[in-house]
Amino acid sequence: MFQYLILIQPLGFLYGSAGRFLSPENLVGRSGTSFPPSAATLSGIFAAQWQTAAHKEKLENLQLAGPFWAEESDVQNFYVATPFNCLVKDQIIQHILTWQGEKWLLPSGEKPPNDKFSTGSWVGIKDWEHLQGKGEIKPKVKTKNPWKFLPHLHPRLRENERHVNTDAADHQGSLFLENAVQLDPETCLVYLSNEEIPEGWYRFGGEGHLVEIRCEAIAEPAKTLLAQPLQRSFALITPAIWGSNRLSYREPKVNRRNEWQSVWYGTDSNPKSMLTQRSQPMRFRLGNCKDGPPNQAKLLSRGRYAVPPGTVYIVDQPLNKTWQEWPKDWFPTEGYSFKRWGCGLSLSLDWAVSEPLT
């Protein structure tokens, strides 16, 4: 079970680039930007701290999830992705769609209005209980991210000298672009963890940027929401990667008799309903091989496509399980199970479906 909030406050800039270094012939401004850092980045800090044999069991049982963010004045009300069945306009959830029969409709049974609504918004965890689709309370949301990108060029140095690399033979050029990120000083990044980490300054992400990390115990209502069993409808609050190391699916599947079968639906069935958006690419770096040289570059994981946070699932039968009780064979394994990084962490949305069991 998650017990702590890991709060990260940058001491300056953070790193927001996930693409290749750029050459003079390929100066693409925002290509490959990726922020906030995934939970796998935070996992690397724990691994660096727990290198002794005494910490081996704690490292193997480490459980993280994120990323989220919060205002420094109220870190317990951290912000998660707004479910996609919530229609946001003017920083307020104007309408909440429910699954009725074979369509997503308003609670009154009418079709949603033909209007422009905001995307990519965040809702406070304390307002999750107000997302009832009944209209009594319309929670406010955050439609703007509390960070901004500040791309700037850096000189590429020679490997053995602190001089700019001007050797044309390596075909790399002498510059690379860093997509630095400036976080609002009144906010911080938030991750969930089942283990505590000593407070202090750490190097977090690429380019060795420094951050201050501190921990707090998870309080209500997040503690209750995370322990609430999921029923017929629920929403992702972290990216989800399902399938094998080579295949990505929109739902968890397991390999039975050389055939990938859904764990939520019948073999030949599709999801009862799924409200989602375009998938997002994800990849991370693994540690060095045990028998490799000390200066060996870290291994780059296989590129994957993740179901974005905010996706709403409707299933035929209640799962009656919390996310922590989902078996590890639902998740791919690459170095570690993707469940270690909070893949597919979900919160219940019992109000999103208004039809009887089939």
The domains found in the chain, sorted by start residue, are: 1-73+147-183+186-219 (3.30.70)
Q: Is the pLDDT of residue 268 over 50?
A: no
Percentage of the residues of the chain whose pLDDT score is greater than 70: 78
**pLDDT, average across residues 294-305:** 68
Q: Token pair 């998740």 is at which residue? A: 331
What's the confidence (pLDDT) of residue 19? 47
Alpha-carbon gap, residue 248 to 84, rounded angstroms: 21
Tokens of 158: 């020679």
140 - beta bridge partners? 92
Q: Is the pLDDT assigned to residue 117 strictly greater than 70?
A: yes
User: Is residue 267 pLDDT above 50, yes or no?
Assistant: no
Instruction: State residue 354's pLDDT score.
Output: 63
Torsion of CA 248, 147, 189, 118, to 10 degrees: -60
Rounded mean pLDDT, 109-117: 91
Which of the given ranges, 25-34, 51-60, 236-245, has the highest pLDDT on average? 236-245
Looking at the DSSP bridge assignments, the partners of residue 300 are 285
Q: What is the pLDDT of residues 213-241, one digit of tens each?
A: 999 999 999 999 999 999 889 999 999 99
Structure tokens belonging to residue 256: 């039975």
Across 75-79, 227-231, 282-286, least confident range: 282-286
Mean of per-residue pLDDT scores for the chain:
83
What is the C-alpha to C-alpha distance for residues 325 and 306, in angstroms, rounded to an integer? Answer: 21
Q: Name the least confident of 53-62, 79-88, 104-113.
A: 53-62
Residue type, 282: M
| pLDDT of amino acid 57 | 84
The model's pLDDT over 176-202, given as tens digits with 9 standing for 90+, comes to 667 789 999 999 999 999 999 999 999
Most confident of 17-26, 150-159, 206-215: 206-215
Ranked by mean pLDDT, which of 82-91, 101-110, 279-288 comes out on top?
82-91
**pLDDT exceeds cutoff 50 at 308:** yes
How many other CB atoms are found less than 10 A from the CB of residue 13?
Answer: 18
Report the pLDDT averaged over residues 271-284.
Answer: 83
Mean pLDDT confidence for 135-147: 85
CB 106 within 8 A of CB 135: no
Burial of 183 (0-12, 13-18, 19+ CB in 10 A): buried
Q: What local confidence, expressed as pLDDT, does residue 357 receive? A: 47
- 46 phi/psi in degrees, rounded to 5: -60, -45
pLDDT at 288 over 70: no
Round to whole Å and give the CA distance between 108 and 96: 11
Would you place residue 4 in the very low, low, confident or very high pLDDT band (cuts 50, 70, 90)? very high
> Is the pTM of the predicted complex or chain greater than 0.95?
no
Facing residues of 38 across strands?
A: none
Is the Cα torsion angle 285, 286, 288, 291 positive or negative in sign? Answer: negative
pLDDT at 183: 96
Of the spans 40-44, 66-70, 116-120, 162-166, which averages the highest pLDDT? 66-70
Residue 269 has pLDDT above 60, yes or no: no
